[in-house]
A and B are shown apart, each in its own frame.
Chain A
């Protein structure tokens, strides 16, 4: 009987992992469409999740003698978790429209406050649920090891992550994904109650969960519609959300909640295409890395033999043609691939490469604005070919951080190409070539007998010369070159984003640092070790993903695999610790720490020496091994404390808090300031310094 109950509880723990991880992924995607999609928003969303989870875990410890750890309570908390999870997306959409005025992009603190408050109920309960399960299991059968609960949680997390990333994201909407992954939790909670003959409670919870599911499914589409708009197309893809909205007769293409372009705007297409193509004598083939509306119509004026349209997301390219944002033609060849990956594999030479991607405001986009990428593009340009890209510009005055970013982009472009022409408008266009581009674009178009609407009418050569001269005088000649592993422009992008809201992250940084220091001060030796392991694990997981994407491009499934392998590694490590190791002491934790510290320079050294020649398997293996050591250390720590529930709770909390601190420190401070390799170096130093705690 005791064993049967214990197994039922473990099933609940696994199901909670499945539901919570997929809900977390769905919620993060939702926040990224409602708020700015940069690393700050990703970091604070995850930070909130981890810190609130940690808070929930601490709450379980604080209430351990107040709430009776019974099966009934566990079942009730599980049902509540189902209800909160399923309604989470609706609550977010509803409150967002109540709290922020229509069309507003809130700043950092507003985003932080909103995401914290809205995530709090679910995250606190998720954090509470795991240690509470441990209390219940110990109450039912004190012989069950805490490590088994930790392992069950890892299995659930890995399964939930894999289920969403490899399966659900391709076939269902966010709300349906949460519902589907909540069903096992509902079933597990039901199984807890069935033998106890609590049918009335079960009935009410079932009625509540079922009606909520129906409501959410029915109104999901409706909740996406904007004020006075009609949703003409909607799809969730592995890369984000794609929408086409109709507003009073005009169609606008949305990507991750941001209106990218409308059908009637020809000026952007003309600028993107003609500033570059007019410079080339004879156009044969063109590579377009992503595209905005009407671009191909403008390109066809040069009568190219072939246009390779590179778009990573097939849904985007399909929708672009379906809603006539782009015109189909026989000479257009659609390639759904990542640009880095494509350029690594193709031998094609192009007359021109036009890159029409969003500005480099995130690490993900930075990959396309580095010296390494520019060199890749150059290697695929025919003689006299041109590479054109543009970033967010300014009307009459560039903000200081933006100017730094533009200076770095100019320095980076100049380090790869003999000539760089910059046209600084509300978009700043960079025309890179080894032949000298001319500023008199209308003159070039006239000689090629190409008619335009916007450039002909609005491009006044003398005024453009005046503006360009002034802009060039502003540029910093000492600006750093932007590279894959040292993304200097991201620091400037963050600064620019904060200046948009006249705010600074310093207040947040100071409060968060003080709280973490207070928290650290009260941790036991073992908890401190686990805090810094959580810190390193989160940071290294991010570093591995970034490096992988830099070297091989953004390959959705493989990135998902890296995360899944990491979670599985935690489980295997814990399993090994449970099965192999017997008597444990702080020395064992020190051995694990030493391994973690050694693995970091090993990663940096291997990547520095072999770079893209490394097999992709290396990254999977590294993730697995690193996670295994972390998982093993966590389980060993719990075994060392003989699985006492209260102590284990402290361990869970330390791990989550450490992960939250690692996430913030690595993605928002270390990476933008030091680049990837030096940041890992700092991690290594920090983890080594944390060893002092063994002596104190």
Chain B
């Protein structure tokens, strides 16, 4: 047998080393159970020239060497010139932070208000809904990942400036404009400009969000919006990190601010099997809501379906949602709903005082409305919401 020559040994070792490089490519990104899917900023990913209708961001501060720190959301992206934020919509060009998600929604729809879901805001109304690309989270079960995890310049966008948005909303007889689908905080400048015009035109403004926003921009937003649905994705910081790439506390702060500013809001809790269908955690969440926000804000327990990267989970058992609703009601919350389950009694609104049926919802249709403006027709109790 011939011994292996040094040259051959080196060649084969080189190939073996290269072959090992192949799977190591998999170590990039969110491979394996790292505990957090939090996004990272995109170095040198900003377009060479400002893209389309870019505007200077409202909330940021400058640092040395033309650096900037975005202050819209708690991610606090620190960007050098040429960098792009975690949410993909903010870029640093020569020391100025720009939002490149302005006037360019990629998704424009008319939705029933019940789809948001907002059950205590003008039931049965039609809402002009817009979204641009980008999100500050990385939810593994995102149902709008096509836009939330994309850069604005990579999508097919409409040219729709704030004036046009308000005009279109009126044209389609919508009562309000919803900033929705992706995360509206990432197109904050576009949202606030549009909301200002919409308010002037007598239209409502609805913020459908993950609630991951800093106090200052939120306070300004509170002066413009008429209602909000904010996701309370779980009541565990570890799960927020693992499934969403965010953290719990800033979201809780958002609820407190909305409450302080007396904005009508509703909370959505997606019950994900194996993660957020934990009863003790749900009880803890309800306890916090009761003690901090009070019993009047509606809470929606929403059914999970396998989506995006979380495809190997079962849908949430309806029995779990029913049980969660019953527990939350027993704990003292007054308006607890079940979402994504047609024909469930948790789709309807009952008076918290006399327990009579106020609003019967058959999906997106309102088949019965026993509200007398904002009061229960039977016992005259005032029902919280925007009616």
Contact surface of A with B, Cβ cutoff 8 Å = 51, 55, 58, 61-62, 64-65, 98-107, 109-114, 116-117, 135, 226-229, 245, 247-250, 252, 257-259, 262, 264-267, 394-400, 402, 426, 453-454, 456-458, 460, 463, 466-467, 470, 474, 500-503, 507-508, 511-512, 514-515, 518-519, 522, 645-646
Q: Which of B23-31, B220-228, B370-378 contacts A (4 or more CB under 8 A)?
A: B23-31
Q: Which of B47-55, B109-117, B248-256, B290-298 contacts A (4 or more CB under 8 A)?
A: B109-117
Pairwise interchain contact B317-A259, C-beta atoms closer than 8 A: no
B263 within 8 A of A: no
Q: How far is the CA of A114 from the CA of B25 in the complex (A)?
A: 11
Q: How far is the CA of A259 from the CA of B316 in the complex (A)?
A: 12
- Known contacts A456-B362, A463-B112, A519-B15: A113-B31 contact under CB 8 Å: yes
Nearest A residue to B27 via CB reads A113
Residue among B12, B308, B310, B365 making CB contact with A457, cutoff 8 Å: B365
| Chain B residues, CB < 8 A from A511 | 18, 21-22, 25
28 contacts between A and B (CB under 8 A): A51-B19, A62-B4, A65-B3, A98-B33, A101-B33, A103-B273, A103-B312, A110-B26, A113-B23, A113-B25, A248-B277, A248-B317, A250-B314, A257-B312, A258-B311, A259-B311, A395-B181, A396-B131, A396-B146, A397-B181, A426-B143, A454-B363, A457-B343, A463-B110, A500-B308, A502-B149, A503-B29, A522-B11
- Known contacts A252-B314, A457-B364: A515-B19 contact under CB 8 Å: yes
Q: How far is the CA of A514 from the CA of B14 in the complex (A)?
A: 12
Interface-centre pick from A116, A247, A267, A511 (highest chain B CB count, 10 A): A247
Q: How far is the CA of A61 from the CA of B277 in the complex (A)?
A: 55
The count of chain B contact residues (Cβ–Cβ below 8 Å) is 70
Pairwise interchain contact A249-B315, C-beta atoms closer than 8 A: no
| Other 12 A-B pairs with CB < 8 A, given A104-B309, A457-B343 | A103-B311, A103-B312, A109-B29, A111-B26, A113-B24, A248-B319, A397-B106, A397-B146, A463-B111, A466-B109, A470-B108, A500-B309
Residue among A109, A249, A645 making CB contact with B31, cutoff 8 Å: A109
Q: How far is the CA of A110 from the CA of B274 in the complex (A)?
A: 22
Minimum C-beta distance from B285 to chain A (A): 19
Ordered nearest first, which 7 A-B pairs have the shortest CB separation?
A457-B363, A113-B26, A103-B313, A250-B317, A109-B26, A116-B23, A458-B363
- Known contacts A64-B4, A100-B33, A396-B131: A250-B319 contact under CB 8 Å: yes
Pairwise interchain contact A101-B242, C-beta atoms closer than 8 A: yes
B41 within 8 A of A: no
Minimum C-beta distance from B25 to chain A (A): 5
Q: How far is the CA of A507 from the CA of B6 in the complex (A)?
A: 30
| Chain B residues, CB < 8 A from A500 | 145, 308-309
Q: How far is the CA of A101 from the CA of B275 in the complex (A)?
A: 10
Pairwise interchain contact A112-B25, C-beta atoms closer than 8 A: yes
| Chain A residues, CB < 8 A from B181 | 395-397
- Known contacts A110-B31, A228-B274, A457-B362: A397-B144 contact under CB 8 Å: yes
- Known contacts A116-B23, A508-B25: A62-B12 contact under CB 8 Å: yes
Nearest A residue to B33 via CB reads A101
Pairwise interchain contact B26-A395, C-beta atoms closer than 8 A: no
B82 within 8 A of A: no
Q: How far is the CA of A113 from the CA of B181 in the complex (A)?
A: 33
Pairwise interchain contact A460-B364, C-beta atoms closer than 8 A: yes
Minimum C-beta distance from B222 to chain A (A): 26
B31-81 residues with Cβ-Cβ distance < 8 A to A are 31-33
Q: How far is the CA of A264 from the CA of B320 in the complex (A)?
A: 13
| Chain A residues, CB < 8 A from B146 | 394-399, 402
- Known contacts A267-B342, A457-B362: A104-B22 contact under CB 8 Å: no
Pairwise interchain contact B312-A104, C-beta atoms closer than 8 A: yes
| Chain A residues, CB < 8 A from B23 | 112-113, 116-117
Minimum C-beta distance from B265 to chain A (A): 22
Residue among A229, A259, A518 making CB contact with B315, cutoff 8 Å: A259
Pairwise interchain contact B310-A112, C-beta atoms closer than 8 A: no
Q: How far is the CA of A495 from the CA of B144 in the complex (A)?
A: 18
| Chain B residues, CB < 8 A from A467 | 109
Nearest A residue to B277 via CB reads A248
Minimum C-beta distance from B319 to chain A (A): 5
